[in-house]
């Protein structure tokens, strides 16, 4: 027993030495670095693991790592803290666990490698650098979300995933996705704590890390993603509804006293009856623009349209007759398809063919929509949904209608989205790995649809 206590004490000393080095190098993150409470956890993990509150460690694992490198403790502490600060555990739900774990480890390690501090420097394996270089070809700033999307698109074989996990993994992620209700509630509280911590850290890191070039940009970029609240795409879509008079009794627009008085005194003859029509907000006129540059794929676009279709079909927010224009555009307008019913939207989605593949320029879409408005193609255009990665040339003038850029992921800080544009990164089924669109339709869309 004494030997176990002695070994646990050695493990705690190793962790504390790494934290001391980190606090000296990153004083603006000292509170977050010390937030995880070290707990001996030989029965929990064979390495190190965190549930967002405690840092469970295997003392033998820490001792072996420290003997290999004095920088091991600092890197392990920062690796696990950044997982929490970037809210990787909470965002794991609904994603492929193996791919998400790999993406999170690669993103965190790329951040640590970019920081110019002696306590963190180490010689990187060529295979590791090669993978990060492949990631950077498709994204300016590495984030877990971006790497995960790349892995979903490429679907590497299991042996490739296992090899990459050995290159980047430092900790155990088994505590990230609890099953029991009490554990889930505690996990949600911890996620709220780290979301606030990410928000508090942004200002300090913006001023103190920006001088370190790409490393500072990488950290701030991921913090902006971590501090962002998830957007309910279903509620958001209702913003495009306009007032419409529909044939439906309005029980709230008349006085029941006179109604019942007539029934009592005049032989079942009400003095007044409820109006036969009522005013409700319905979705009728709006535009869906699709970025057909190399950053989007037909599968993602089709799943985005399917999710939109399911939301419209499953609510009373749409009119039976729609006036939707679906535009495809990269650096020029490629197509304009008018949709007048949900059935037409479904057929368009199922037979979707993308045109384009060049760089992204958002201006042709807005110029075309302005012409449609001027020609009277819309009776009451409420807004435009633009499905894109957010990187392109934006118009300088604010349009007369609301514009929302539905993003695949949070764009790099270098992308300056105009202040008048609504930017949302919704959490919807199209982010989950699917073998085919038919599988997506069967698992995610059909259960959402009412009986027709």
Q: What is the pLDDT of residue 405?
A: 87
What mean pLDDT is predicted for residues 409-426? 73
18 and 158 belong to one structural domain: yes
pLDDT in tens, 268-289: 665 555 555 555 556 678 899 9
Specify which of 99-113, 126-140, 186-200, 378-392 reaches the highest per-range mean pLDDT. Answer: 99-113
At a CB cut-off of 8 Å and minimum separation 6, what does 47 contact?
57, 58, 61, 170, 171, 172
pLDDT tens for 331-373 read 889 999 998 887 888 888 888 888 877 788 999 999 999 999 9
Residues 418, 368 share a domain: yes
The answer on 239 and 180 residing in a single domain is no
Give the Cβ contact number of residue 126 at 10 Å. 7
Number of structural domains (the chain) is: 2
Question: Mean pLDDT, to the nearest integer, of 121-133?
Answer: 88
Domain assignment present for 256: no
* Cα–chain center distance at 302: 18
User: What is the span of the domain harbouring residue 54?
Assistant: 2-227
Among 114-123, 189-198, 390-399, the minimum mean pLDDT is found in 189-198
Based on the domain organization, do 213 and 318 belong to the same domain? no
Is 427 a domain residue? yes
Say if residue 299 is in the same domain as residue 208: no
Same domain, 202 and 339: no
Residue 292 and residue 205 share a domain: no
DSSP string covering 126-142:
HHHHHHHHHHHHH-SS-
Neighbouring C-alpha atoms within 13 Å toward the C-beta of 337: 20
Q: Assess whether 164 and 294 both reside in one domain.
A: no
> Which residue stretches of 297-409 are H helix?
298-313, 342-350, 363-374
Q: Residue 246: what pLDDT?
A: 45
Q: How confident is the model at residue 73 (pLDDT cuts 50, 70, 90)?
A: very high
Cα four-point dihedral sign 340, 341, 345, 347: negative
Q: How high is the pLDDT of residue 215?
A: 46
User: Are 255 and 272 within 8 A, CB to CB?
Assistant: yes
Contact 124, 168 (CB under 8 A): no
Of 163, 194, 227, the position where a domain reaches its end is 227
Both 300 and 392 in one domain: the answer is yes
Minimum mean pLDDT range among 11-25, 84-98, 136-150, 156-170: 136-150
* Residues 344 and 223 occupy one common structural domain: no
Same-domain check for residues 240 and 223: no
Residue 57 has pLDDT above 90, yes or no: yes
Residue 266 lies in a domain: no
What pTM value is reported for the model?
0.63
Query: For all residues of the chain together, what is the average pLDDT?
Result: 78
More confident residue, 239 or 230: 239
Q: Domain holding 376: CATH number?
A: 3.40.50.410
**Domain for residue 276, yes or no?**
no
């Amino acid at each position: 027993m004494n030997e176990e206590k002695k070994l646990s004490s050695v493990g705690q000393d190793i962790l504390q030495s790494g934290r001391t080095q980190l606090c000296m190098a990153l004083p603006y993150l000292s509170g977050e670095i010390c937030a995880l409470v070290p707990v001996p956890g030989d029965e929990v993990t064979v390495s190190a693991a965190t549930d967002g509150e405690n840092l469970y460690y295997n003392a033998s694992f820490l001792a072996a790592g420290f003997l290999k490198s004095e920088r091991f403790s600092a890197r392990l502490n920062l690796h696990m803290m950044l997982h929490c600060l970037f809210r990787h555990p909470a965002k794991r739900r609904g994603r492929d666990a193996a791919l998400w774990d790999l993406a999170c480890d690669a993103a965190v390690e790329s951040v640590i490698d970019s920081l110019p501090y002696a306590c963190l420097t180490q010689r990187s394996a060529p295979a590791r650098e090669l993978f990060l270089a492949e990631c950077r070809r498709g994204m300016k700033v590495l984030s877990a979300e971006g790497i995960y999307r790349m892995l979903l698109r490429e679907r590497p074989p299991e042996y490739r995933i296992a090899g990459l996990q050995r290159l980047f993994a430092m900790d155990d992620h088994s505590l990230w996705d609890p099953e029991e209700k009490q554990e889930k509630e505690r996990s949600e509280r911890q996620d709220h704590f780290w979301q606030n911590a990410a928000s508090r850290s942004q200002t300090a890191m913006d001023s103190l890390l920006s001088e370190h070039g790409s490393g500072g940009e990488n950290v701030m970029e991921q913090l902006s993603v971590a501090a962002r609240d998830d957007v309910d795409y279903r509620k958001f879509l209702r913003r495009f509804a306009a007032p419409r008079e529909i044939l439906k009794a309005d029980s709230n627009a008349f006085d029941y006293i006179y109604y019942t008085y007539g029934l009592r005194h005049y032989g079942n003859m009400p003095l007044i009856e409820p109006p036969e029509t009522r005013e409700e907000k319905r979705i009728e006129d709006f535009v869906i623009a699709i970025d057909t540059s190399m950053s989007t794929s037909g599968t993602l676009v089709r799943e985005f349209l399917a999710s939109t279709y399911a939301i419209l079909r499953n609510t009373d927010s749409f009119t039976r007759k729609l006036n939707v224009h679906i535009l495809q555009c990269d650096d020029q307008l490629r197509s304009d398809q008018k949709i007048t019913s949900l059935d037409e939207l479904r057929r368009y989605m199922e037979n979707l063919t993308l045109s384009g593949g060049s760089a992204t320029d958002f201006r042709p879409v807005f110029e075309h929509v302005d012409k449609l408005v001027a020609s009277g193609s819309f009776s009451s255009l409420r807004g435009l949904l633009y499905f894109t990665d957010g990187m392109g040339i934006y118009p300088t003038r604010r349009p007369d209608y609301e514009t929302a850029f539905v993003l695949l992921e949070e764009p790099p800080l270098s992308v300056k989205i105009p202040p008048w544009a609504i930017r949302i990164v919704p959490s919807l089924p199209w982010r989950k790995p699917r073998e085919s669109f038919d599988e997506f339709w069967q698992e995610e869309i059909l259960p959402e649809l009412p009986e027709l």
